[in-house]
Chain A
Amino acid sequence: MRNARRTLARLLVASVLTVAPIAAAQTLTILFPQEPGSLFPHFDLLSLAHETQDLVFDRLFAVDEQGAYLPVLAAEVPTVANGGISADGRVYTIRLREGPTWHDGTPVTSTDLAFTWRVITDPGLPIPTRTVWQDIVSIDTPDPRTAVVTFGDTNVSFLGAASFAGAFLLPSHLLQDVDDLANAPFHRAPVGNGAFRLVEWQAGSFLRFVRNDDYWDGAARFEAVVIRIVPGSEAQRTVVSRGEADLVLQVALTELPFIDGLAGYRRVSVPTFANWQLWLNNEDPVLADVRVRRALVHAIDRETIAEALLGGLSHPDDAILPVSHWAHADDVRRYPYDAATAERLLDEAGWARTGTGRARDGQPMVVELINIAGQADRLQVVQAVQAYWRAVGVQAEIREVDAASFVPTLSGGDFQSAYGFFGEGQEPVWNLWLGTNWQRYGNQEALDLLRAYGVTVEQEARRELAIAFQRQVAEDVPVIVLAPRPLLAVVRADLQGYAPTTTSSLWNVHNWNR
């Protein structure tokens, strides 16, 4: 009996000892708050899906920390000067690098680029965005290393589209004969050409990747990468406080006090081209008057909001492209916090004071403010705006909607004002203005500047057009820019090489080490 107990005890100890540590020395562990749906490039717009795909796939180009294009699968960045872009901006000649292969050993060729274009533009596939790619007329492949991309008209956004977060090439030799790409096993078991290969995906728990030893830029320093799906902030705090994560992406701003008191980690402000902003419905009877819109900006102390509620990660600006963007305008009309000016503008617009509120022709001044429910940091900002507007007599009523209802509400025009974020890319496509136009901006002269932007090949000339547009938008205030929206990441202090850009956090993951 005693021997049996000893044996049992030994078995128990042995079974505990066989449990491997979660964060082994050569494993990079990344925490995601949300699970990617698909690793088939172009099918999923979730930014965390793009980050995950970045482990497995490569793009033609990447964007570095300074916003400059870098060749990845391409051998060089095409320009007009090197003959890669035709003088009329219609033809891009892409020369591919020698060496990159798919994980099954097949070389990456220009045929893969042509196939990727055909998949993206296939009208029968549920691919959410085909912007820029749908304007391509043909992709010729004179040899395996060369692709000639031809647009019907001048196109200035191709490099931006080809370096976009999720713009990865697809393996034509594996997918061209698949009947139903929308539901192919490739979504959960991709074969890529990147620095890591997916080896295990436990739904709701984690994804595990191992190093691709044949990677064209040299094998990654980490042997494996684990992406842990940890949705709750309490659970994320626990994982980080135990030192089990190297990197946490898309951390909520409400976690800042916790992060700042954490030993062994540092916080990183990840740049984006997005702004936190208030959409104003320019066709709404109350907000159609530019004096009212200007008054609403003057009424808000954006500096205090940015400092106290947005983590002090950025400073407010009045230009719609953030200061980190190459086409940002410095000299736009400014709207400093000035409640007296706000009151005067509202008086001039006919909204007279009635005690704590205002009214015009017997109608009280009420502005509904829509917010996405469920995020404490967003609600705090909206409540602050509500308080600032009330201080100048504008009664703001907050209406909370869930995330999926937000877009239909705005696109349907059933709103007065709404809080959220919006960002352009490296090469702006101006869809918010020429496409969705949720704010119902109707200044055609200003919009013509954007139309001209789209057919101007020379970058400096495009910059001037973008700056002229930003100046006019700052005059008209169709939206209120609160502050740029960098993302917050938590990084282990001894992790080296992490250099997030506006398009990706993991673009250079093969060079990271600890």
Chain B
Amino acid sequence: MVHLPKGGPADVYAADPSATPEAIERMKEIWGLDQPLHVQYVRWVTRLAQGDWGRSYVERRPAIAVVADRIGPTLRLTGAALLVGLVAGVGLGVLAGVSRSSGVQHTVRVVAVLGMSVPTFWSGAIVLLVFSSYLRWIPSGGVATIGAEANLLDTLWHLAAPALVLGSVYVAQWMRYVQAGLESVADDDYVRTARAKGLNRTRALLRHGVPNVLLPLVTVLGLELPRLLSGAMVTEVVFSWPGIGRLLHGSLVARDYPVVLGTLIVAGMAVLIVNLITDLLYGVLDPRVRYA
């Protein structure tokens, strides 16, 4: 599929006034791109099976090294965003779910709609403008201060804004999810039983409702990972964050096929691993789930 759009890595060079068609053909020949697509694919799969992901046409080094350089920053960003989404989303969702105040519930709904409607490229730009350009509370981008010693606070300082922006989408979504879940279980038998034993509504929901609502959230978390990675692409560009998403975007533009495929392999592996963790978590969170 990555070969479907017209053009290839050698054609990017053709923008140069002195690059002749013969030179472009020579580049394709050297890179093996003059071969039929199925031959290229078999060659790539064969090498992949031997642990060779190919070499980047742009960076002239192994694609696996190019991709590996970007995994750390992306893990840091998506992990922090996930944390923000979970802590704030679940917390506010529980608050809205157990509260009988219509003001709180309406506020939560408004925040949820805003959070899910505002695209991250816009919210990121606004955050940069207000908190970096005007107020100077956050840095102008990047993962750390250039030239400074590695420093936890500096790292967190750079991480905070992109993580909040990327996580804000999930705050809204999961907050709404938890709120709706708590409202739906409020009249279930086990909650009523708990109340009959003397717990008030809030305590009954917190102690018995929340665990039952959170269980399906684990599934949602696993399913959301691909969207989180794609959202990270936009956030990484806005905040000059050197992650996998930005790498994928740049590699697609340059038709750097080995790196494109490498990033897709990593993303695919991440989804598989998270789904495995999700399945395992079921067994931990719900004693009724057992694996043969």
Contact = CB atoms under 8 A, between A and B. Distances in A.
A18 B246 CA distance: 30
Given A18-B148, A129-B23, A425-B17, A38 B12 contact: no
Given A19-B148, A126-B30, A409-B6, A231 B237 contact: yes
Contact of A206 (B14, B57, B142): B142
Contact of A22 (B12, B30, B146): B146
Given A235-B240, A238-B129, A242-B132, A45 B16 contact: yes
A37 B60 contact: yes
Contact of B242 (A19, A124, A205, A411): A205
B75 to A, nearest CB: 14
A143 interface: no
B147 A38 contact: no
A48 to B, nearest CB: 12
Contacts of B15: 45, 403, 406-407
Contact of A404 (B6, B16, B61, B143): B6
Given A19-B145, A124-B30, A128-B16, A404 B253 contact: yes
Interface in B225-251: 237-243, 246-247, 250
Interface residues of A, number: 70
A404 B58 contact: no
A228 B69 CA distance: 17
Interface string A27-43: 10000001101101001
Contact of A129 (B19, B59, B60, B73): B19
Given A45-B16, A402-B7, A403-B12, A20 B27 contact: no
A203 B70 contact: yes
B103 to A, nearest CB: 35
A21 to B, nearest CB: 8
A304 interface: no
A121 B14 CA distance: 18
Contacts of B18: 129, 131, 425, 429, 431
Given A235-B128, A241-B133, A435 B146 contact: no
B180 to A, nearest CB: 35
Interface stretch (B41-49, B150-158, B265-273): B150-158
Contact of A228 (B21, B142, B148): B142
Given A411-B21, A425-B18, A239 B141 contact: yes
Contacts of A230: 141, 240
Contacts of B238: 232, 234-235
Interface string B59-80: 1110000100110010000000
A5 B151 CA distance: 20
Given A20-B148, A404-B7, A425-B18, A232 B240 contact: yes
Contacts of B149: 18
A503 to B, nearest CB: 13
B282 interface: no
A232 B132 CA distance: 15
B116 to A, nearest CB: 22
Contacts of B24: 128
A405 B23 contact: no
Interface string B110-153: 00000000000000110011001100100011110111110111
B203 interface: no
A204 B128 CA distance: 19
A204 B242 contact: yes
Most chain-B Cβ atoms within 10 A of its Cβ — which of A232, A237, A402, A405?
A232
Interface stretch (A181-189, A281-289, A378-386, A478-486): A181-189
B11 A404 contact: yes
A204 B246 contact: yes
Contacts of B21: 411, 435-436
Given A15-B151, A202-B242, A408-B11, A20 B5 contact: no
A235 B140 contact: yes
A241 to B, nearest CB: 5
A72 interface: no
Interface string A43-65: 11100000000000000000000
Given A128-B23, A404-B255, A422-B17, A24 B69 contact: no
Contact of A432 (B17, B73, B143, B254): B17
Contacts of B207: none
A128 B143 CA distance: 34
A38 to B, nearest CB: 5
B5 A405 contact: yes
Contacts of A340: none
B27 A126 contact: yes
Contact of A406 (B7, B59, B255): B7
Contact of B14 (A34, A37, A231, A411): A411
Contact of A15 (B10, B17, B133, B152): B152
30 contacts: A16-B154, A19-B154, A20-B145, A22-B146, A34-B250, A38-B58, A45-B19, A125-B30, A128-B23, A129-B13, A129-B19, A182-B60, A187-B61, A204-B246, A204-B247, A205-B240, A232-B237, A232-B238, A238-B132, A404-B7, A404-B254, A405-B5, A406-B15, A407-B7, A423-B17, A425-B17, A429-B18, A431-B20, A432-B17, A436-B21
